[in-house]
Homo-oligomer: A and B are copies of this chain.
Amino acid sequence: MHILITGGCGFLGARLARTLLAAGTLSVAGRAAAPITRITLADRAPPPADLQADARVRYLGGDLLEQATSRQLPEAGTDVVFHLAAAVSAECEADFDLGMRSNFAATHQLLEACRALGSRPVLVFASSLAVFGKLPGQPLPDPVLDDTLPTPQGSYGIQKFIGEQLVADYARKGYVTGRSVRLMTVTVRPGKPNGAASGFFSGMVREPLAGVRARVPVAPATPVAVASPTRTIEGLVRAAEASPADWGPLVALNLPSLRTTVGAMAQALGAVAGAQATDLLDWEIDPAIEKLVATWPGNIQWDRARALGLQADASFEDVVRAYARENPQAVTLRLP
């Protein structure tokens, strides 16, 4: 079993690799589980030390569009491609050409490279809730279902939605076994802010736990559909595993999300870490971020994911506790 992860050295990519390596085997598209012999991590930046140290891991550094166009990847024998590499939302809105290159052209060329293999690899495409958006002057669709018409209000969302369409047609033609999963707002992300407009959804927990002030740029009542890193990785893996019959004919599905609000997230932070943490939140609206976030739906249904056995986080308190448990070096406050 040979697996390629694009964006494989990013937070989600590295976490996915660790999860797969720890499991040791993977069942693909309903077939019997097989030992994982190699995971190729394609990224611009090298992998973390623990992954570099694993003999099953290979690192392929460079620009994904060039790698795919030149057929450097996926190499022959690749069974599964997890396509996570992307320019993030704020980058794509600020630099249209960057997004078209990194998200649109690179995804297209990666699909072409998969097709060139001739072996119909499984391709799991990380799409996003950002495919959904509020049309000017119209209410947000509520609820958003798996088959609600996406009307993206950002270039990132358009590029992800076009990616879904390409995956659907390359799958229909038999060039890949295609599955698109719409990731929710993943929180709590460790490390540094990544430039996404949604970055504060992690920063408002991560920074206070590290004793650092954090700005919350939207109102407490702002609804949001979140998922922990653990739930998100589960979704990606399940997408690779599902049999064609279990997956069904619609190529894209919504991953599970916990429906909450920014205010309730702050309360959960307080319940875990006390006022010492919530006192570090600066509630100061950023009109640009508020405007963009207001076009993202907070009520996203995920019936198809549930039918695949996936589930949402039970509570945001659980999410905060899991972050603190998994990242002890990043928590400087003494938790009660």
Binding site for B on A (CB under 8 A): 96, 135-138, 147-153, 155, 158, 161-162, 165-166, 168-169, 172-173, 248-250
Decide: B147 and A149 in contact? CB cutoff 8 A: yes
Given contacts A135-B249, A149-B149, A250-B151, contact A161 B165 (CB under 8 A): yes
Contact of A136 (CB < 8 Å), options: B137, B153, B165, B249 = B249
B137 touches A249 (CB 8 A): yes
- Least Cβ–Cβ distance between A130 and chain B, in angstroms: 12
Q: Which residues of B contact A162 (CB under 8 A)?
A: 162, 165-166
With the chains together, A132 CA to B67 CA distance in Å?
34
Residue ID in chain B nearest A157 by CB atoms: B169
The residue that A168 contacts in the complex, of B147, B158, B169, with Cβ under 8 A, is B158
Known: A135-B249, A249-B136, A249-B138. A169 touches B147 (CB 8 A): no
Q: Quote the shortest CB–CB distance from A259 to chain B (angstroms).
A: 22
Contact of B96 with A173 in the complex, beta carbons under 8 Å = yes
Contact partner of A165 (CB less than 8 A), chosen from B158, B172, B249, is B158
11 A-B interface contacts by CB (under 8 A): A135-B250, A137-B249, A138-B249, A148-B149, A152-B165, A152-B169, A158-B165, A158-B169, A161-B165, A162-B162, A162-B166
Specify which chain B residues have a CB less than 8 angstroms from the CB of A172 in the assembled complex.
153
Give Cα A113 to B220, complex, Å: 43
Other contacts beyond A135-B249, A147-B151: 8, CB < 8 A: A137-B248, A138-B249, A147-B149, A151-B168, A152-B165, A152-B168, A155-B169, A165-B165
Which residue of chain B has the shortest Cβ distance to A93 in the bound complex? B173
Residues of B contacting A168 in the complex (Cβ-Cβ under 8 angstroms): 151-152, 158
Instruction: State in angstroms the CA–CA spacing of A281 and B153 once bound together.
Output: 49
Task: List, in ascending order, chain B residues with CB within 8 A of A148's CB.
Answer: 149
Q: Complex formed: what's the CA distance from A166 to B138 in Å?
A: 21
Nearest CB of B to A77, in Å: 24
Q: Could you say which residues of chain B place their CB within 8 Å of the CB of A151? A: 147, 168, 250
